[in-house]
């Protein structure tokens, strides 16, 4: 379960503000243990269920965005690792004062590669894509440091996304259970009213009008 921080108490009535959040500020869904803490009459059932559904929709929206971001990071991290490994390889060869050249292929486009011969002893810098069609030259030590920082940040962000996804799914499940409990409470109250002669004879146990005939 994701770590939470408390800045207030859970609401006891429909319409009150949820102030408990996780470490990223995502609200914690109300856990309905006692339905009467949330609804005091059947008139409050529909607004409460509507509020729960709105919260579920918001959590699902955040879940989709977080999953998309996590997928982007999963695609980005291998590229960063591959680039970092190449920079470290060139740095190692240069520090070893290797006189032999390296023949390699480098990617120009998704399906286009060019053959190149590299002299490690003469390699002092590399060009790295920064995004938005921007490429910048870095000395090998700075390139290694920058790529390591980017890799660490990306891995930390991915871990955060995965944690938030688990948290969001937990909140959605909590609200689905809350919805079922409030709905079932309404059914029980409807049956009680009907048994006491207060209900509408045309209503069935689901609250819908029975069809004539």
Domain that holds residue 138: 39-95+125-190
Which CATH number does the domain housing residue 77 bear?
A: 1.10.287.370
Per the domain annotation, does 4 fall within a domain? no
Tell me the pLDDT tens digit for each residue of 53-101.
999 999 999 999 999 999 999 999 999 999 999 899 888 888 777 677 8
What pTM did the predictor assign?
Answer: 0.72
Counting the structural domains of the chain, the total is: 1
116, 106 Cβ separation under 8 angstroms: yes
Per the domain annotation, does 146 fall within a domain? yes
Per the domain annotation, does 102 fall within a domain? no
Per the domain annotation, does 21 fall within a domain? no
- In the 8-state DSSP scheme, what is residue 12? S
Per the domain annotation, does 136 fall within a domain? yes
List phi, psi (to 5°) of 41.
Answer: -150, 165
The DSSP line for 98-117 is --S-EEEEEEEETTEEEEEE
Per the domain annotation, does 71 fall within a domain? yes
pLDDT by 10s per residue, the chain, length 213: 444 433 333 343 444 444 688 888 999 998 888 888 888 888 899 999 999 999 999 999 999 999 999 999 999 999 999 999 989 988 888 877 767 788 888 777 778 889 888 887 778 888 898 878 888 999 999 999 999 999 999 999 999 999 999 999 999 999 999 999 999 999 998 898 888 776 555 555 545 444 443
């Amino acid at each position: 379960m994701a770590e939470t921080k408390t800045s207030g108490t859970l609401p006891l009535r429909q319409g009150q503000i949820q102030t408990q959040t996780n470490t990223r500020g995502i609200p914690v869904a109300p856990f309905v243990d006692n339905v009467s803490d949330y609804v005091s009459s059947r008139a409050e059932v529909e607004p409460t269920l509507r509020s729960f559904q709105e919260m579920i929709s918001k959590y699902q929206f955040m879940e989709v965005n977080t999953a998309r971001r996590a997928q982007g990071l999963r695609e980005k991290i291998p590229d960063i690792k591959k680039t970092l490994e190449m920079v470290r390889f060139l740095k190692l060869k240069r520090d070893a004062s290797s006189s032999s050249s390296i023949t390699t292929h480098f990617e120009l486009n998704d399906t286009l590669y060019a053959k190149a011969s590299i002299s490690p002893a003469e390699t002092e810098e590399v060009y790295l894509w920064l995004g938005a069609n921007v490429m910048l030259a870095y000395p090998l030590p700075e390139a290694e440091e920058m790529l390591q920082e980017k890799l660490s940040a990306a891995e930390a962000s991915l871990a955060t996304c995965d944690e938030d996804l688990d948290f969001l799914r937990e909140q959605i499940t909590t609200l689905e259970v809350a919805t079922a409990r409030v709905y079932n409470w309404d059914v029980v109250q409807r049956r009680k009213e009907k048994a006491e002669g207060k209900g509408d004879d045309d209503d069935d146990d689901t609250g819908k009008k029975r069809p004539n005939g």
